[in-house]
Amino acid sequence: MPSIKAAITAVGGYVPDYVLTNQELEQMVDTTDEWITTRTGIKERRILKEPGKATSDMGAEAVKRLCASRGIHPEEIELLICCTTTPDMVFPATANLICHKVGAKNAWGFDLAAACSGFLYGLATGSQFIESGRCKKVVVVGADKMSSITDYQDRTTCIIFGDGAGAVLLEPGEAGYGVIDFLLKSDGSGCQHLHMKAGGSLRPASIETVMNREHFVYQEGKAVFKFAVVDMAEVAYEVMQRNQLKAEDVAWLVPHQANKRIIDATAHRMNLPEDKVMLNIQRYGNTTAATIPLCLWDYESRLKKGDNLILAAFGGGFTWGALYLKWAYDPH
């Protein structure tokens, strides 16, 4: 009997209505549209402005759209993994809140935190439950409300991040289709370069931490760029090499949308032309765990059954990795 593979059989996405443009950021901090565009490739990003709305609300919308696309009821979902850096609260898990909001009454779930690589970690994890035969329908959500931890007085970080959510459904695939291989890595020594200083057990919230603006993303941009531009490219290339894939065999690179220059470096290492690279950073910015599933959602109509996709990401902490999958269905 051939081994079971976990195939993506549907995708869903959601971005908030509010558009934060580079021109608006020019009024908030000392920056320019040209500076932002040249260094990041970002022109605008979406921000969740509605009071009382959080990561779970965006994730729930993505899951509802996924279920509608596949024609299934949320009660058919057996497991839901929510990959996020911005959970609604410390507990309960945002995954549980998403299940409640969509009516996935028969699912169990948990949150997975791996920063910008979270969705890749979640996809690799979810695929194991399909391959083992434990589950028939697994949903992996990547969702982040980055505006909730972004300091809009810090011009080095506020230009980068946006809010959004994407989700995929994993089911047992036909022979040869689905998640084929992945390579995931982490290095905690990178913490010093990209982290949030307070809000955890090391530095619980206090008047001092709030006054010092320590509950926001802290990033040493040059150091992070140096690691990301090398590691994300190398891990994507390594996955190609060990699966005997040449550039002409790859239909799409699906990269984490952090910085256009990092994406370009990864494509260059893989010897891929620009027209094989999924790109929406100019519209959404960096939505952390949501970038890769939002790319799949945006490009779904252009994907064909049998397409070879390489997914690649780099995130804070540090985390990074690449995943090779063979697309399982033609456009609807």
- Exactly one of 116, 135, 158, 295 is catalytic; which is it? 116
Distances (CA, A) of 54 to 18, 42, 91, 209, 240: 14, 23, 14, 22, 37
Residue 31 token pair: 């920056």
Distance CA 115, CA 288 (A): 6
Instruction: Tell me whether residue 202 is exposed, middle or buried, using C-beta atoms within 10 angstroms of its C-beta: 0 to 12, 13 to 18, 19 or more.
Output: exposed
Distance CA 12, CA 84 (A): 16
Closest CA relative to residue 140, chosen from 174, 89, 176, 178? 178
Distances (CA, A) of 233 to 176, 271, 310: 26, 11, 11
Distances (CA, A) of 228 to 8, 140, 234, 264: 27, 24, 10, 12
- Exactly one of 135, 193, 256, 259 is catalytic; which is it? 256
Q: Is 286 a catalytic residue?
A: yes
Residues facing residue 11 across a β-bridge: 168
- Exactly one of 83, 193, 286, 295 is catalytic; which is it? 286
Distance CA 14, CA 331 (A): 19
* Positions marked catalytic: 116, 256, 286
